A and B are shown apart, each in its own frame.
Chain A
Amino acid sequence: MKLALTEDQALIRATAERVLAEASTSAAVRRAMDSAAGYDTDLWRRIGAELGWCALALPEAQGGLGLSAFEQVLLLEQMGRRLACLPYFATVCLAGQLLAQAGRESARARWLPPIAAGQLRATASFEAPLAARRAGDGWQVSGRIAQVLDGASADTVFALARIEGEDALALFAVPADAPGLRRTALQTWDLTRRYAALVFEDVTLDAAARVDDPARLAEGLRRAQAYARLSLAAEQLGGAQACLELTLAYTQNRKQFGRAIASFQAVKHRCAEMMVKIEATRSMVYGAAAGAAAGAPTAVLACECDAAKALASETYFWCAGEALQLHGGVGFTWDYDPQLHFKRAHAGRHWLGAPERLREALAAHLLEPAP
């Protein structure tokens, strides 16, 4: 009945906080933004090989640490707070979770260990299925996915396809260098997260490339989608926290009319409002994560994670806007960080379900006739 961090959880959070404060500074983030890959390759190596972050919430049987969504959320919150530029989200929170939730046994054994070890960069797309045609023992996959996170840098793409002539979906592991797969890096406003357009032209795959467990796919997809939303919500929570921290530091330092602008009630109250929204979001995100950790059934999990994502998206965008405003003129410059959060908050708001869409789904659930 209580929502408290255990000692181990507090340690995970503290470690993430410390490592990222040092490794994912504003300067480091900007270097990653300017780089071709879009992420910090050294930090990525470190979190996979040394820190075990990729393994955190993946099953122990496949090289994971078997911890829960709660630990995952604590880590992601810190990544969001530091704008960490890493292939982590796509690899672990999209591809890893999708495999864990919907993958067949052999595919989990094949793909999860390298993901847990940080040796594979993967990504996945939940929406807009491709078309798959049976070709002998194998498959031919065609279609286009407009935006795939880290689609240009991933080693393996886990793509959903509708099987032609059958009312069924299938999940395929597609190597980045598969003939017929064209990847086009897209120019994004938010340079801390990269997307690519993927075109599949009769990509030929063998039977082993199909990785889903058909009996678990529909349910697993819903669960993986819920986890992805919760994960993004956790990052957004951290980002919103960073916006408040930046604003507190700036407004206590900046003097006008002979006093720190943070002493003006017009400014204080806006900072306090940011905190109210952030703590409310933290309660929602932690509560949803605790429910997921306790094994919430899929319908409940989906509602809770939709709620977390809807709330976190709006909190982050609002806090980023407030940070920008309360920084005054410098908030509009490239050199100060509010703009980074503003762009990331905007990009994330419309990813994995915009708040309006998620609330509509919740309303439909809420308004279902009572049984």
Chain B
Amino acid sequence: MNAAAANDEAAFRAEVAGWMRAHLAGRFAKLRHRGGPGDEDFEPALRKEWERELARGGWTGLGWPKAYGGRGLSLERQVIFHEEYARAGGPGRMGHIGETLLGPTLIAYGSEAQKRRFLPRILDGSEYWAQGYSEPNAGSDLANVQTRCRLDEARGEWIVDGQKVWTSLAHESDWIFVLARCEPGSKGSKGLAFLLVPLKQPGVSIRPIRQLTGSCEFNEVFFDGARTAADHIVGRPGEGWAIAMALLGFERGISTLGQQMHFGHELELVVAQARASGAADDPAIRQRLAQSWIGLRVMRYNALRMLADAEDGRLRPEALIYKYYWSNWHRALGELAIDVLGEEGRLVHQDEARRRLQQVFFFSRADTIYAGTNEIQLNLIAERALGLPREPRG
């Protein structure tokens, strides 16, 4: 990197940090470090206002092309934004699914009408999206989705019946993208459609799922004759699987360095608690603290390798291991956090420091399950990176 570019990046970093300092204040101050995984039901209304604040500041759609209202920023600058956002304690993003998953998918595969209809409202924080992939019998085996859809040609609408599950923040969202079977009797990844369905309608009912933490971030979404316009399909009928997989590919590790800032903050909380409680004198705890710090360095360098290799679009070894690595690291951090709390760990705490440690302990159990369980991740690594024989698939 030459000196001029380095100066530009430093200026950009200062700009983000300055903006965050000025705006994550006042009524938004209580959102600092809140609303992340395990805490997603925290102040949703205020967090939507925060999304609109971000939009007004020009901090949404950073990587989107300018033609679609984005800023067309380089990978480096997007990373800087995520780092500074996290460093400032920026709250979990309500608009994440729309901005990082659906938006790029529509830009790549959507019709012009869909782009005009949906993209501006993702960018300005006026519409929120949920993801309708998993079902009770389609978890790791996602291609087994059974939700059905059929085109009612007379009314020019798709009619959707079935059930989705593990839908984050469905009750706070306006729309859901749904992977549904459009060819009756089809099996596996064939005969699927990728539909955009409004959530606020009589044919949709949402039931929260109470998690082991006691809070409800995930929902079941039931479709019973739910309707959406005939042209609210991305790609053609039968192309749903390809679109759904492409969508998952848009999460290219840009936000991972921001995620690591959150992790670093959590480790600092654990260290502070260990100092305060005296656990820091325990040699076994000290070993685990150091181990955790090493893992944090590993994740940083791993992400820097991913960014270097992301350009040719191939999934490299370091990208394939990443989900397995961070989720297991985070789970171990949670176990360390609760051990540092010791006897206090069995009591429910409301103060920010201890509440957060308990949240890491309990919620990190989900990390190794969602977005591909540990077991599925190991299959993927063995098959895609090591070329070992594939598991039978139906």
Give Cα A89–Cα B274 distance, bound, in whole angstroms. 40
> Given the interface contacts A268-B378, A362-B293, does A276 sit within 8 Å of B301 by beta carbon?
no
Interface stretch (choices B164-172, B200-208, B384-392): B384-392
Q: Which of B274, B301, B321, B387 is A3 in contact with, Cβ under 8 Å?
A: B301
Instruction: Write the nearest CB–CB distance from B203 to chain A, whole angstroms.
Output: 41
Contact A284 B294 (CB under 8 A): yes
- The tally of CB-CB contacts under 8 A between chains A and B is 135
Q: Which residues of B contact A359 (CB under 8 A)?
A: 286-287, 290-291, 294
Q: Which residues of B contact A345 (CB under 8 A)?
A: none
Q: Which residues of A contact B325 (CB under 8 A)?
A: 276, 279-280
Q: Which residues of B contact A358 (CB under 8 A)?
A: 290
Instruction: Write the nearest CB–CB distance from A205 to chain B, whole angstroms.
Output: 40
| Count of residues in B whose CB is under 8 Å from the partner chain | 46
Contact B291 A1 (CB under 8 A): no
Judge whether B271 is part of the interface by a CB distance below 8 angstroms: yes
> Given the interface contacts A271-B382, A275-B321, does A311 sit within 8 Å of B298 by beta carbon?
yes
Q: Which of B79, B300, B317, B379 is A268 in contact with, Cβ under 8 Å?
A: B379
Within 8 A of B (CB), among A254-270: 260, 262-263, 265, 268-269
Chain A residue with minimal CB distance to B380? Answer: A272
Contact B378 A269 (CB under 8 A): yes
Instruction: Write the nearest CB–CB distance from A254 to chain B, whole angstroms.
Output: 13
Judge whether A307 is part of the interface by a CB distance below 8 angstroms: yes
Instruction: Write the nearest CB–CB distance from B328 to chain A, whole angstroms.
Output: 8
One digit per residue, 1 when the CB lies within 8 angstroms of any chain B CB and 0 when it does not, for chain A 271-296 equals 11101100111111011101000000
Judge whether A37 is part of the interface by a CB distance below 8 angstroms: no
| Count of residues in A whose CB is under 8 Å from the partner chain | 43
One digit per residue, 1 when the CB lies within 8 angstroms of any chain B CB and 0 when it does not, for chain A 218-252 equals 00000000000000000000000000100010011
Q: Could you write out 10 A-B pairs with CB less than 8 Å apart? A: A1-B9, A3-B308, A271-B386, A282-B305, A283-B299, A284-B301, A286-B301, A286-B305, A358-B290, A364-B286
Give Cα A360–Cα B282 distance, bound, in whole angstroms. 11
Instruction: Write the nearest CB–CB distance from B52 to chain A, whole angstroms.
Output: 30
> Given the interface contacts A272-B382, A275-B321, A275-B386, does A283 sit within 8 Å of B289 by beta carbon?
no
Judge whether B23 is part of the interface by a CB distance below 8 angstroms: no
Judge whether A115 is part of the interface by a CB distance below 8 angstroms: no
Judge whether B112 is part of the interface by a CB distance below 8 angstroms: no
Give Cα A359–Cα B300 distance, bound, in whole angstroms. 19
B1, B302, B386 pick with most chain A CB within 10 angstroms: B386
Give Cα A265–Cα B283 distance, bound, in whole angstroms. 37
Judge whether B31 is part of the interface by a CB distance below 8 angstroms: no
One digit per residue, 1 when the CB lies within 8 angstroms of any chain A CB and 0 when it does not, for chain B 295-336 equals 101111110110111000000011001001100000000000
Within 8 A of B (CB), among A279-326: 279-284, 286-288, 290, 304, 307, 310-311
Judge whether A366 is part of the interface by a CB distance below 8 angstroms: yes
Give Cα A359–Cα B271 distance, bound, in whole angstroms. 15
Q: Which of B295, B321, B375 is A279 in contact with, Cβ under 8 Å?
A: B321
Judge whether A367 is part of the interface by a CB distance below 8 angstroms: yes
> Given the interface contacts A268-B378, A359-B291, A363-B287, does A307 sit within 8 Å of B386 by beta carbon?
no
Judge whether A2 is part of the interface by a CB distance below 8 angstroms: yes
Q: Which residues of A contact B274 (CB under 8 A)?
A: 367
Judge whether A60 is part of the interface by a CB distance below 8 angstroms: no
